[in-house]
């Protein structure tokens, strides 16, 4: 396109589920435009990104940030390393990235004789709108979530609609959505359930989200073909241009600085030894875990189902997620039995998720419904068994069941009394091709094709996601020209 002198600064929130799509978006924009891109983040997060950073014009700028200054353990500037009781401090503290970001943008402006073409900031970093404005450039908010989940998340934080109901099972309407879209307080994470506008979470999210809504536009990590309803709601709600660009990591197996609990070869070897479409994959993303009670029930349910499984396992809620895994967190001799019978592979802490989802043996995914996991799963045609835990995951799960028909929700949250028998029943339902499970698989397969089409290019014909990037860049240039 010949705009290779332009520069974009990207500001991801400090969590794996945000870093991964930010990097993927950076790569896509860079590939299509030749722009220079700087991803600005703290040292630890830059360290996570570095191994996956291509050698092209994508740079990592380290923003100074001392987690100890904000009541966090040292070197913990990523949600995955932070005990739940202080994770709120990280959100609040992230606002202190504004000053070093200003210095970075100022340096770029001085060096290049013009400000960056735009700042692409995480939807949680509303302060970036003011930074962009003071340098005479524009800010575009990037939501790493899907359209439905983002619209619900933004709407709930802005309106706190759950305050109108008094019981856990009472339904409330989601502002900005059609009347039929209703939630109950059980869809909300406990801190959001308790939010009333005066608590520390509200004091962070409400102004940051409202500021982000003043961005010039929004890039949403989805595609028109799979989320027509979600995008319609999001566009109506935000009232700014929304470009839908699929930025989850669906093509490259190789992210990140993180160490897997098993070598990719061993994991593949294990999957190779199982029949096609037989294995259930279980993972709760990069930062969540379930309770000790739930872990035992899940293990028993998996064993009862008799289905082979790969489970990325971490210590239960209330324990150090990086700490040693204790055998008493599982039924007696469970791990040994699974090894002997080859029914289950337990991978501690982290696995190469996309490789597992891409393997022909994988049939279903017990997932917390983090948006990247959802997209990765659907990009491989793998239906989902939902177990949402935090953030916008329960809204994603609702959308997967009600709008897409590719999932069954097994349970919700870390407090539920899910039982082994229910785990067995739902797994069997989804893996069984003859009934509902077969239908879900068929729909997941259709979505897989749509995703492939949206990110693909064939001569002149380009998929909707690529077209959205090109439209976005053209719009930025029109803006840039307008500014002279
Ligand atoms: N992930 C992975 N291995 C793991 C756990 C997570 O590769 O053991 C990756 C996963 O593929 C996804 C990201 O981490 O790209 C998690 O993002 P998601 O939005 O699903 O959930 P979050 O971690 O933000 O809750």
Cβ of 285 closer than 6 Å to ligand 1, yes or no, is yes
Residue 469 corresponds to which tokens in the numbers above? 């990037």
Residue 39, beta-bridge partner list: 10, 60
Whose CA is closest to atom 15 on ligand 1?
A: 372
Per DSSP, the three-state class of 463 is: coil
Q: Identify the pLDDT of residue 258.
A: 57
Q: How far apart are CA 78 and CA 169, in angstroms?
A: 34
Asked if 471 is an active-site residue, the reply is: no
The pTM of the whole model exceeds 0.90: yes
Cβ of 16 closer than 6 Å to ligand 1, yes or no, is yes
Q: How many CA atoms lie within 13 A of 317 on its CB side?
A: 18
| DSSP state at residue 41 | E
For 344-375, what is each residue's pLDDT tens digit?
A: 999 999 999 999 999 999 999 999 999 999 99
Q: Identify the pLDDT of residue 264.
A: 79
Burial class (CB in 10 A: 0-12, 13-18, 19+), 450: middle
For 291-316, what is each residue's pLDDT tens digit?
A: 999 999 999 999 999 999 999 999 99
Q: How far apart are CA 297 and CA 229, in angstroms?
A: 36
Asked if 196 is an active-site residue, the reply is: no
3-state helix, strand, coil in the chain (%, to 5): 50, 15, 40
Q: What is the pLDDT along the chain (484 residues), one digit of tens a residue?
A: 445 689 999 999 999 889 999 999 999 999 999 999 999 999 999 999 998 877 678 999 999 999 999 999 998 899 888 887 888 999 999 999 999 999 999 999 999 999 999 999 999 999 999 999 999 999 999 999 999 999 999 999 999 999 999 898 899 999 999 999 999 999 999 889 999 999 999 999 999 999 999 999 999 999 999 999 999 999 999 999 999 999 988 886 554 455 677 787 899 999 999 999 999 999 999 889 999 999 999 999 999 999 999 999 999 999 988 789 999 999 999 999 999 999 999 999 999 999 999 999 999 999 999 999 999 999 999 999 999 999 999 999 999 999 999 999 999 999 999 999 999 999 999 999 999 999 999 999 999 999 999 999 888 889 999 999 999 999 999 987 766 5
Choice among 122, 187, 189, 368 that is catalytic: 122
Cβ of 350 closer than 6 Å to ligand 1, yes or no, is yes
Mutating to test ligand 1, I would choose from 13, 17, 144, 389 the residue with most ligand atoms within 8 A of its C-beta, which is 17
Q: Identify the pLDDT of residue 251.
A: 82
Residue tagged 């050698």 (tokens):
55
Give the number of the atom of ligand 1 that is nearest the alpha carbon of residue 374: 20
Residue 362 corresponds to which tokens in the numbers above? 């994988």
Q: Identify the pLDDT of residue 484.
A: 59
Ramachandran quadrant class, 136 (left: phi over 0; alpha: psi -120 to 50; beta: rest): left
Q: How far apart are CA 68 and CA 76, in angstroms?
A: 9
β-pair type (309-313, 384-386):
unpaired
Whose CA is closest to atom 4 on ligand 1?
A: 350
Q: Which is nearest to 366 in space by CA: 430, 414, 305, 417?
A: 430
For 252-274, what is each residue's pLDDT tens digit?
A: 655 445 567 778 789 999 999 99
Q: Identify the pLDDT of residue 1.
A: 45
Q: Which is nearest to 279 in space by CA: 351, 371, 375?
A: 351
Q: Report CA(432)–ligand 1 centroid distance (Å).
A: 26
CB contact at 8 A, 10 and 28? no
CB contact at 8 A, 58 and 39? yes
Residue 388 corresponds to which tokens in the numbers above? 């949402």
Torsion (CA) 209, 211, 213, 214 in degrees, nearest 10: 180
Q: Which is nearest to 469 in space by CA: 315, 278, 263, 244?
A: 244
Per DSSP, the three-state class of 415 is: coil
Cβ of 143 closer than 6 Å to ligand 1, yes or no, is no
Per DSSP, the three-state class of 476 is: helix
Q: Report CA(464)–ligand 1 centroid distance (Å).
A: 25
Ramachandran quadrant class, 349 (left: phi over 0; alpha: psi -120 to 50; beta: rest): left
Q: How many CA atoms lie within 13 A of 84 on its CB side?
A: 18
Q: Which is nearest to 181 in space by CA: 405, 392, 402?
A: 402
Cβ of 404 closer than 6 Å to ligand 1, yes or no, is no
């Amino acid at each position: 396109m010949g705009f290779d002198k332009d520069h974009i600064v990207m500001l991801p929130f400090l969590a794996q589920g945000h870093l991964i799509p930010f990097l993927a978006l950076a790569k896509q924009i860079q590939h299509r435009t030749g722009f220079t891109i700087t991803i600005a983040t703290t040292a630890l997060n830059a360290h996570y990104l570095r191994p996956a950073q291509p050698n092209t014009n994508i740079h990592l700028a380290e923003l100074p940030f001392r987690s100890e200054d904000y009541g966090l353990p040292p070197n913990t500037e990523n949600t995955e390393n932070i005990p739940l009781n202080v994770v709120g401090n990280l959100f609040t503290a992230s606002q202190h990235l504004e000053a070093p970001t200003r210095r970075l943008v100022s340096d770029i402006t001085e060096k290049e004789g013009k400000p960056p073409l735009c700042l692409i900031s995480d939807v949680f970093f509303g302060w970036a709108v003011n930074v962009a404005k003071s340098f005479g450039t524009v800010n575009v908010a990037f939501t790493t979530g899907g359209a439905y989940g983002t619209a619900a998340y933004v709407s709930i934080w802005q309106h706190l609609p759950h305050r109108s109901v008094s019981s856990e099972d009472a339904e409330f309407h989601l502002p900005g959505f059609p009347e039929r879209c209703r939630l109950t307080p059980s869809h909300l994470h406990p801190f959001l359930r308790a939010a009333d506008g005066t608590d520390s979470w509200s004091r962070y999210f409400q102004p940051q989200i409202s500021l982000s809504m003043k961005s010039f536009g929004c890039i949403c990590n989805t595609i028109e073909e799979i989320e027509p309803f979600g995008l319609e709601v999001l566009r109506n709600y935000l009232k700014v241009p929304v470009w839908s660009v699929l930025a989850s990591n669906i093509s490259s197996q190789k992210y990140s600085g993180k160490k897997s609990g098993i070598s990719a070869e061993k994991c593949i070897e294990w999957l190779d030894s199982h029949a096609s479409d037989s294995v259930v994959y279980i993972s709760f993303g990069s930062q969540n875990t379930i309770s000790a009670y739930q872990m035992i029930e899940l293990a028993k349910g998996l064993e009862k189902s008799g289905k082979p499984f790969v489970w990325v396992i971490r210590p239960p809620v209330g324990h150090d997620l990086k700490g040693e895994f204790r055998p008493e967190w599982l039924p007696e001799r469970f791990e040994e039995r699974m090894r002997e019978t080859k029914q289950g592979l337990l991978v501690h802490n982290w696995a190469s998720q996309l490789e597992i989802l891409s393997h022909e043996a994988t049939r279903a995914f017990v997932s917390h419904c983090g948006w990247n996991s959802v997209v990765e799963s659907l990009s491989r045609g793998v239906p989902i068994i939902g177990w949402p835990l935090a953030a916008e995951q329960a809204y994603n799960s609702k959308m997967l069941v009600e709008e897409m028909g590719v999932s069954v929700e097994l349970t919700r949250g870390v407090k539920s009394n899910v039982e082994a028998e229910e785990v067995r029943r739902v797994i069997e339902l989804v893996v069984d091709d003859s009934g509902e499970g077969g239908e879900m698989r068929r729909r997941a397969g259709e979505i897989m094709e749509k995703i492939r089409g949206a990110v693909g290019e064939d001569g002149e014909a380009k998929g909707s996601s690529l077209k959205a990037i090109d439209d976005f860049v053209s719009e930025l240039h029109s803006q840039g020209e307008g500014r002279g």
